Amino acid sequence: MKQQQTPTSEARAAGLTLRGIVKHFGPTRVLDGVDLDIRPGEFLTLVGPSGCGKSTLLRIIAGLEAQSAGSVTIGGRSVDALPPSERDVAMVFQSYALYPHMSVAANIASPLELRRLSLFERLPLLRWLSPRRPRVMREIMTEVRAMAGQLQLEGLLDRRPAQLSGGQRQRVALGRAMVRRPAAFLMDEPLSNLDAKLRVHMRTELAELHARLGATFVYVTHDQIEAMTMSDRVALMDKGRILQLGTPSELYDTPADVTVARFIGSPPINLLEVEASAGGVIRMAGLALRAPGPGRYTIGIRPEALHLGRAAPGLLAARLRRAENLGAEWLLHAETEEGAPLAIRMTAAEHAAADALIGQVLHLSASRAGVHLFGPDGRRVAVEAAVEAPA
């Protein structure tokens, strides 16, 4: 599968530009001024909690929904006035949206038929009058068979969608999108109807497909793991806005917003309320950080950045409530004196060495790289050269 080449694919990648996209449904504002530049050939994922407007944004790109304000450019061409079929994008739907009454072959052939045959040549009965049709259909079927070969659907071409497994339907939907070689693929949670195992497998397959086709992929998901594992870049959305756009590592290592920090990472980041002293110094879990000024902050500590230590002043004390053995790792759930929950992730070896018992008080230190500070507005706060003060 990996070796096969689609001849023209390199030339078929378009960049997408969104400027100030706003969408109202009645009084509710679903998209609130979205700007986004998607590079030609990149795998960009829109991720965010359910209802944040991802699908709406994707449907605006596709032309299935009209934006209330703003503009969409695909491959340098403004498409605001174009119907979906002329935007040179293909879409893979969550439900796959296969035509249930058509065979797999007819489903994959559908976009080509609609493009290469006139309405007259597609009408029942009348279509047999067209002298051109048999030749065009033969060409289409050749392409459909080639596509089926690429997607390992050869034996299934005569089946109806209802006779296919979820994974096979997914492939047919991909085939129908790929067969017309669009400049960009739009995918709305395409894996969410698959069982967990197949989902993991299809993740790899989609990533490979992207590499092979070289086309632009815009991928919508609410699953941060999908976003982190497949994408070149991730745009994290919340309440109709893009909070941060960056590579998966950028989002994980330097979250621009407490919402981003909370959304990315599993188990989620530990968030604690802290008070900075008059000099702006925050002492927490063995670290001393210098914030821009005094006041209340939220500090985020990744679970893997917390380490067990011996009782010492300045360390974060928390009572161990529960320990989960994940095999190679352990996940400890503890509670601070203030009652805030804490998750701590460690290797099995670390756990064995520490011998932490349920009910016991743990003394935790944090490593600097996994600690982030957020202001009252939720935005990331740059921590100035921290005063190293191991207590």
Partner 1 sequence: MTAPRQRAEARAGAAFALPAFALILALLLAPLAALLALSVTDYRLGAMAVRLVGLDNYAALFADEVFQRSLRNTFLYVAFVLPGAVFGGLGVALLVHARRRSRAFYEVAYFLPVTATLVAMATVWQFMLHPSLGPVSALLRALGFGDVDLLNDPSLALGTLALIGLWQVIGFNMVLFLAGLSAIPRDLYEAAALDGARSGPDRFLRVTWPMLGPTTMFVTITSTITAFKVFDTVVVLTRGGPLGSTETLLYVLYLEGFQYFRTGYAAAMTVVLLAFLVLLSILQARVIDRKVHYA
Ligand X SMILES: Nc1ncnc2c1ncn2[C@@H]1O[C@H](COP(=O)(O)OP(=O)(O)O)[C@@H](O)[C@H]1O
Other Cβ atoms within 10 Å of 321 Cβ, number: 13
221 lines the binding site for ligand X (CB under 6 A): no
Q: What is the dihedral of CA 102, 106, 111, 117, to 10 degrees?
A: -110
User: Mask of contacts with Mg ion, 46-65, x by CB under 5 A?
Assistant: ---------x----------
124 lines the binding site for partner 1 (CB under 8 A): yes
| Region class of 187: left (phi > 0), else alpha (psi between -120 and 50), else beta | beta
Stretch that binds partner 1, among 78-86, 228-236, 306-314, 327-335 (CB under 8 A): 78-86
Cis-peptide, bond into residue 267, ω within 30° of zero: yes
Query: By C-beta, is 24 or 296 nearer to ligand X?
Result: 24
Q: Name the amino acid, one letter, at 359.
A: G
Instruction: Please state, in angstroms and as integers, the Cα–Cα distance from residue 119 to each residue in 87, 114, 116, 130, following that order.
Output: 20, 8, 10, 11
Query: By C-beta, is 85 or 247 nearer to partner 1?
Result: 85
User: Mask of contacts with partner 1, 23-62, x by CB under 8 A?
Assistant: ------------------------------------x--x
Ordered strands of the 77-78 beta sheet: 28-38, 16-25, 69-74, 77-78
| Contact with ligand X (CB under 6 A) among 2, 50, 100, 131 | 50
Q: How far apart are CA 7 and CA 273, in angstroms?
A: 56
How long, in residues, is the chain? 391
Residue with tokens 């191991």: 390
54 lines the binding site for ligand X (CB under 6 A): yes
Stretch that binds ligand X, among 48-56, 111-119, 245-253, 329-337 (CB under 6 A): 48-56
Burial tier of 367 (Cβ tally within 10 Å: 0-12, 13-18, 19+):
middle
Residue nearest to ligand X (CB): 55
| Contact with ligand X (CB under 6 A) among 1, 10, 51, 118 | 51
56 lines the binding site for ligand X (CB under 6 A): yes
User: Mask of contacts with partner 1, 163-202, x by CB under 8 A?
Assistant: -------------x--------------------------
Query: By C-beta, is 168 or 367 nearer to partner 1?
Result: 168
Q: C-alpha angle with apex 187: 81 to 214, nearest 5 degrees?
A: 90
Residue 281 makes CB contacts below 8 A (sequence gap 6+) with 288, 289, 290, 291, 387
Q: How far is the CB of 29 from ligand X (least distance, A)?
A: 9
Q: How far is the CB of 187 from ligand X (least distance, A)?
A: 12
Residue nearest to Mg ion (CB): 55
24 lines the binding site for ligand X (CB under 6 A): no
| Contact with partner 1 (CB under 8 A) among 34, 58, 90, 151 | 90
Instruction: Please state, in angstroms and as integers, the Cα–Cα distance from residue 317 to each residue in 42, 275, 310, 324, following that order.
Output: 45, 17, 10, 20
90 lines the binding site for ligand X (CB under 6 A): no
56: nearest Cα among 180, 186, 169 = 186
Q: Residue 56 binds which one of partner 1, Mg ion, ligand X, none, with CB within 5 to 8 A depending on kind?
A: ligand X
Q: Which residues are near Mg ion by CB under 5 A?
A: 55
Q: Which residues are near partner 1 by CB under 8 A?
A: 59, 62-64, 83-85, 89-91, 93, 95, 97-102, 110-111, 114-115, 119, 122-124, 162, 176
Q: Which residues are near ligand X by CB under 6 A?
A: 25, 30, 48, 50-56
